[in-house]
Structure 1
Amino acid sequence: MIKLLIVEDEPLERVALRKIIGREFHNIEILEDAKNGTEAIEMAKTQQPNVILMDIRMPESTGIEAQKKIIQFLPNVKCIIITAYNDFIYAQEAIKYGVIDYLLKPAKPQEIKNAIEKALSLNSKLDRNHTTNIFENNSTQQILMEVISYIKQNYKHELRLTEVATMVHLNPQYFSRLFKKELGTTFTDYVTKLRIEEAKTLLKESNLPIYRIAVDLGFSDAAYFSKVFLKYEKESPLEFKKRHEHFEKKRLLSN
């Protein structure tokens, strides 16, 4: 049975979506609704949905922010954004984080049905492990979503553009141009930024030494890690950690 999670802060919207899905699909279990991004993350952890219908602008955490976190522990979930905001920036962000469709409110029942059928089709292909079939329709967006999902699962290890291009059956030079055109950044830059963001989290939330963080995130050594970190954050890892500790102490004292 396919499990589907609705994430929407408007009660009437949740009811309408439930009616449409219940009428059109008999092989889907609709989980308890999430009313904001924080609830969506917790529900995704405990219920492990296959498909998520997600609003963008909600209390506590946006749909994009929630999906960004969900895909880290549930990389194969198929997310469909439903929003009142026709914003290219949102759509571009959505592609980065594994969203398979982007519907504008008020979405027609047929549009919702089509999007869910697309999610079910992708889920079925993944379950059968027919990875090659996913790319046979030459869908640029679909290829990028699969590539990004793979990167997010493996960015702590060595990732070579040529190997990823081969995985999706594309010429490396063409794949490199396609990646830059669609995402506005190079393959290497994208992977590096993921590593730097994870490094910032570890520097703030753990007591791991800098050399250990560097090795764990796939950098060759601490010196190279510090050089790259300085390039992206305009301060060294040690300076970043000390600055965060300083602000945290001030915050605790003020409370």
Structure 2
Amino acid sequence: MYKLLIADDEPLEREGLQLMIERAFPQTFTIFHAEHGRSAIQQVEQHRPHIIFMDIKMPGIQGLEAIAEIRKIDAQSKIVILTAYDYFTYAKEAISLGVIEYVLKPAKKQQIVELLQKLLHQITKEQAMREQQLTAREKLVQLQALSETAWTWLLMGKMDECSAHTFTGMEFEKGYAMVIELEKSDASEREKWEEIVKQCIKQQRRCLCSPLSQRQMAIFIEAEQHERIISFAQSLLKQLEKALQQRVKIGIGTIRSGVDGLKRSYKEAWTAVRYVSSFSRAIHIDDVPITDEVEQIHIKTNGNVIEQVEMFLHENYCYDVTLEEVAKYVHLTPYYFSKLFKKETGQTFIDYLTHLRIEKAKQLMRDEGLTVKEACYRVGYKDPNYFSRVFKKVTNMTPTEYRQEVCERL
């Protein structure tokens, strides 16, 4: 049922209007009375009526004053002025207060009925619109949460990229990963703890948060190179321990770009948090000493490290790449990396890089028609004579002979 308030200092006016409304709209309204402006304000505070009939001249607080106060409490109610005073100034002020109609007494039954029918139609329409807006907002929140989960799962290696791209785009391109591990495990508290972590971080940084699983949450935080990551993590750790009422530890990855970079940062953060044996600590991957134990954790976490190295070399073979530099890239000691690379590829690091550069040089001379000297510089060699010796060692012919042979075929 709808709620309707009649505010008038004349009891007969109130009762007569109520009788008229109840006969025209049986079992449609719950009707309340107010004999002056103050009572009308109190009734609105208590009942929040959908429709208000308000007289202007009443003892104490006048009708227009009461409407001004009511509008502070309830902006949605439909207010109708029902008065014997036909003054333009009253009508003008009533319009400024959002009054729907200005009806002069004595009002005819048909006039009141048509007015209420119009108001009920408006109220029904507005309620339906609000319901649609709430439903749409709920769906948007669900989609945003689903999208956030999808992207964090992608960056954690739990979902393929095609599946994640069916949701909305990732919010940022550059940042770092943080893995937060809680000391306690309680299924009944999981959702509450997850929400606390999200609120603590999202109030301070733009980020994507994974669900809490096996006492861990992955956080992907937008950041630039100058970001003070360690101090933020230490501050966050204290906030989380206070809010969660338990100890926490945090592992932090390096700042990287794109999906592949953030995936790598997550693996670094996971390695770092695994290294920390005690709680109430935050540690960056760069501060994790490289030991056999850490290397084994890192290999296990990152899957096929050699695939990452091969991809890195194919993108950077033209630069002065060293074994030490690549070992640091995958967070392994040069000694351990060298052994692992030889075991997985059957070649030493230098042999692999050399063969890669020579194959690229052959491709450049064959497909792009580059001279020997041009190909030499393009693949990372600085001395054409040295390049020629290496080329002949690998292919059993000089680069000039290779180029001539290719030209003859063409």
TM-score (norm 1): 0.49
TM-score (norm 2): 0.31
**Which structure carries more relative contact order (alpha carbon 8 Å, separation 6+)?**
1
